[in-house]
């Protein structure tokens, strides 16, 4: 049977099983089993047991549930209210005023939470009621929050970076460092858009609050000190080489528990809810990763990744054309799959092609994170859109529509990274 026929059969099997409502992780394992059983001589059952055990017992992957738990603990603290009080006095002088709390708040929380959905929910609790009460336009409040919350994926620590690092066998610490500058650049693009909109529509921007002195601003910012110290402790320990990503994640969990206790929000109920929430999310991710690892092995035995890489090589695409084609591919894929599934489902097939094209795997990891960010705000399977729909009660098409400018800015960020790859590679080269 030809490669095209095998690929068609496996893709059909994938969508049929997914369409029947089976979990993604089990679907990937099922398709892998079908492929290995029908098109290879390796016993499928033995291969599945060995591969799933190997993926589940990876030491590198230990950082993932710890970072998820840290984010869950902070999600249940008074962090959102404290952040708004600390940030709002500094935003009054900027065009767009308090709309910037969406961007800056998401940037700060992204540095202690690897999830864009958690970032969206936490900062949304803070900004949505306050900005609505002060008269800011709904389309700008919701749109900027939808876009800025995707920074939860790009600014380290990032769940998707850990997943990519494990799937592509790339240093997670280097990926974390590489995501800092692009994350700040994207945040500046979001803030720049808010300023441009405010200058063009000054009548829609509510009046500034009463002026506060510099000392009053500093006093209001005291509530930001705990989270800033946690960011410095977690990321600083990684960047200085004192701790691995896993050890830094453990430090983050301890720090978040201390912050929660100091705020008086740590009790048995919040501790249990945070632990159960992190467990549920990690079990889902681990099942997807295990299924994807088996699918990658199955594809390797069948030979599809090698043949795909050889076929793409015959097309004679330049690096730029290959990146553009992959960006379109991932944007389309993001309409139907969540980010983690996109990464684990495609890395085994794409990495040989990417390496053969001479693309830096660290740079490619940040590129993947950016295109996955787009998937967070593209219907019908945009996780951030679902979160915002639950928080605002607005219709999904309306939320997707007001998020379009943010989607365009992420596309611009991808272009900037391609034109200036040093935005990704400079910091890792300097620090490691």
Residue 417's pLDDT is: 93
What percentage of the chain exceeds 70 in pLDDT? Answer: 93
Q: For residue 64, what pLDDT is reported? A: 76
pLDDT at 306: 63
Is 374:366 a contact under the CB 8 Å cutoff? no
Residue 11 belongs to a domain: no
**pLDDT above 70: residue 313:** no
Supply the pLDDT for residue 420. Answer: 93
* Residue 335 · residue 283 · CB < 8 Å: no
Residue 256 preceded by cis peptide, ω within 30 = no
Secondary structure percentages of the chain, helix, strand, coil, to 5: 80, 0, 20
Whether the per-residue pLDDT at 292 is higher than 80: the answer is no
227 near 112, Cβ under 8 Å? yes
Q: To which residue do tokens 């949505």 refer? A: 128
Q: What is the mean pLDDT of the chain?
A: 82
More confident residue, 422 or 396: 422
CA dist 365 and 228 (Å) reads 26
Task: For residue 15, tell me if it sits in a domain.
Answer: no
Residue 12 lies inside a defined structural domain of this protein: no
Helical axes 180-200 vs 138-148, angle rounded to 10°: 170
- Taking the C-alpha atoms of residue 201 and residue 392, their distance in angstroms, rounded to an integer, is 24
- For residue 1, is pLDDT > 60? no
In 179-242, which residue ranges form alpha helices assigned H by DSSP? 180-200, 214-220, 225-239
Domain count, the chain: 1
Q: Which tens digits make up the pLDDT trace of 117-152?
A: 778 877 887 788 888 888 899 999 999 999 998 888
pLDDT of residue 188: 94
Q: Is residue 331 part of a domain?
A: yes
What is the C-alpha to C-alpha distance for residues 89 and 93, in angstroms, rounded to an integer? Answer: 9
Residue 162: domain span = 23-204+214-431
Taking the C-alpha atoms of residue 189 and residue 45, their distance in angstroms, rounded to an integer, is: 50
CA-CA distance, 337 to 260, in Å (whole number)?
A: 34
Cα separation, 294 vs 289, whole angstroms: 9
According to the model, what pLDDT value does residue 71 have? 77
Q: Please indicate, yes or no, if residue 16 is contained in any of the structural domains.
A: no
Q: Report yes or no on 124 lying in a domain.
A: yes
Cβ neighbours, 10 Å, residue 148: 32
- Any domain includes 3: no
Give the residue, 163 or 292, on which the prediction is more confident. 163
pLDDT exceeds cutoff 90 at 196: yes
Question: Which one is predicted more confidently, 314 or 362?
Answer: 362
Q: Does 93 reside within a domain? A: yes
What gap in Å lies between CA 181 and CA 167, rounded to an integer? 23
């Amino acid at each position: 049977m030809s490669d095209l026929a095998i690929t068609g059969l496996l893709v059909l099997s994938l969508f049929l099983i997914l369409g029947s409502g089976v979990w993604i992780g089990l679907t990937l394992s099922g398709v892998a089993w079908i492929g290995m059983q029908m098109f290879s001589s390796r016993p499928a059952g033995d291969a599945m047991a060995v591969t799933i055990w190997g993926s589940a017992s990876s030491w590198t992957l230990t950082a993932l549930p710890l970072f998820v738990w840290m984010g869950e603990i902070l999600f249940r603290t008074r962090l959102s209210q404290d952040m708004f009080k600390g940030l709002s006095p500094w935003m009054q002088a900027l065009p767009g005023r308090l709309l910037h709390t969406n961007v800056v708040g998401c940037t700060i929380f992204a540095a202690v939470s690897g999830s864009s959905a958690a970032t969206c929910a936490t900062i949304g609790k803070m900004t949505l009621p306050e900005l609505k009460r002060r008269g800011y336009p709904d389309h700008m409040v919701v749109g900027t929050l939808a876009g800025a919350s995707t920074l939860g994926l790009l600014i380290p620590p990032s769940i998707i970076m850990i997943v990519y690092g494990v799937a592509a066998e790339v240093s997670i610490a280097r990926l974390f460092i590489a995501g800092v500058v692009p994350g700040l650049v994207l945040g500046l693009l979001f803030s720049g858009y808010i300023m441009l909109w405010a200058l063009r529509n000054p009548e829609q921007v509510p009046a500034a609050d009463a002026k506060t002195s510099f000392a009053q601003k500093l006093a209001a910012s005291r509530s930001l000190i705990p989270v800033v110290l946690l960011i410095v402790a977690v990321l600083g320990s990684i960047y200085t080489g004192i701790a691995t990503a896993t050890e830094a994640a453990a430090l983050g969990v301890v720090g978040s528990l201390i912050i929660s206790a100091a705020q008086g929000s740590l009790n048995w109920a919040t501790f249990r809810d945070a632990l159960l929430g992190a467990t549920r999310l990690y079990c889902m991710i681990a099942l997807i990763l295990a299924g994807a690892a088996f699918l990658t092995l199955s594809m390797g035995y069948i030979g599809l990744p090698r043949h795909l890489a050889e076929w793409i090589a015959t097309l004679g695409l330049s690096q730029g054309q290959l990146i553009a084609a992959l960006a379109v591919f991932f944007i389309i894929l993001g309409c139907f799959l969540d980010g983690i599934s996109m990464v684990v489902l495609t890395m085994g097939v794409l990495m040989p092609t990417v390496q053969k094209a001479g693309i830096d795997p660290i740079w490619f990891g940040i590129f993947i994170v950016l295109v996955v960010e787009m998937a967070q705000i593209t219907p019908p399977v945009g996780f951030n859109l679902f979160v915002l729909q639950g928080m605002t009660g607005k219709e999904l098409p309306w939320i997707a529509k007001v998020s379009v400018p943010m989607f365009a800015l992420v596309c611009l960020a991808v272009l900037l990274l391609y034109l200036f790859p040093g935005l990704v590679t400079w910091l890792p080269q300097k620090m490691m």
